[in-house]
């Protein structure tokens, strides 16, 4: 195990789901630790209700947040708290349906992610500040997040950023991706992505179906509030550049 461990978020009984990722990490010679997340497939366990704010989430999303979404956010929060409790300098976090690029191991061994608070290895809808980038060998660059990006499947997280995410998710009022402004957090993202999501499986299909059902209950209104929290956020959005034509791609 390195000083920045690879933590694989999974659920009890999901051996088959995580097997391809575990095999890929083993093949690359990368040690890892399985972290059991919160299972809400039969509803959010009662002991976690005190850790969530359903009404605030409903107002922010303009629809109810599903139990599965709360469980996912709580599971990531638990990993961020684990970084602090173990006094780790940081960690690499992977969800168990991650599909690794052939350069993922090169990225881990290069260790450049230690220099930034957060690096999104997988991301969607990312927009970057122009002309701000860092080279990661010959296979990728890191771009500075302008405002928002989605996708919590694979990322690196330094301890100081973990503390800020824990604070922002106390209580949990937003989805796992992300409870606070990523620019303010100091986040970067990789181009190209070095992790992809495996094709739809039962769990991701269930979460999408649950979200769709809740949106339908709220009618045709937009699911999240629009607008900007500050002039700076608006300006960053205006000068930012979309990275590629497809979600989060080069």
Q: What is the pLDDT along the chain (250 residues), one digit of tens a residue?
A: 458 999 999 999 999 999 999 999 999 999 999 999 999 999 999 999 999 999 999 999 999 999 999 999 999 999 999 999 999 999 999 999 999 999 999 999 999 999 999 999 999 999 999 989 999 999 999 999 998 889 999 999 999 999 999 999 999 999 999 999 999 999 999 999 999 999 865 555 455 556 555 555 555 444 454 456 677 777 778 777 887 544 444 4
- Kindly state the tokens that stand for 41: 């497939």
Find, among 65, 88, 19, the residue nearest to 177 by Cα.
65
Kindly report the pTM of this predicted structure: 0.88
Domains of the chain: residue spans and CATH? 6-242 (3.90.550)
Rounded Cα gap, residues 237 and 231, in angstroms = 10
């Amino acid at each position: 195990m390195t000083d920045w461990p690879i933590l694989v978020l999974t659920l009890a009984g999901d051996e088959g789901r995580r097997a391809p990722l575990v095999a890929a990490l083993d093949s690359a010679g990368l040690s890892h630790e399985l972290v059991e997340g919160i299972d809400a497939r039969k509803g959010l366990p009662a002991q976690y209700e005190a850790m969530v704010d359903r009404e605030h989430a409903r107002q922010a999303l303009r629809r109810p947040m599903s139990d599965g979404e709360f469980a996912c956010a709580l599971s990531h929060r638990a990993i961020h708290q684990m970084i602090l409790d173990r006094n780790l300098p940081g960690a690499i976090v992977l969800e168990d349906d991650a599909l690794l690029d052939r350069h993922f191991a090169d990225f881990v061994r290069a260790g450049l992610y230690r220099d930034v608070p957060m690096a999104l290895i997988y991301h969607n809808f990312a927009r970057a500040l122009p002309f701000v980038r860092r080279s990661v060998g010959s296979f990728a660059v890191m771009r500075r997040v302008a405002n928002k990006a989605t996708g919590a499947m694979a990322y690196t997280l330094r301890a100081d950023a973990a503390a800020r995410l824990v604070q922002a998710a106390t209580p949990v009022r937003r989805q796992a991706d992300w409870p606070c402004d990523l620019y303010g957090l100091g986040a970067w993202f990789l181009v190209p992505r070095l992790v992809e999501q495996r094709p739809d499986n039962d769990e991701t299909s269930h979460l999408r179906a649950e979200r769709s059902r809740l949106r339908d209950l709220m009618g045709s209104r937009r699911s999240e509030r629009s607008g900007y929290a500050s002039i700076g956020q608006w300006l960053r959005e205006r000068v930012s550049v979309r990275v590629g034509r497809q979600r989060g791609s080069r």
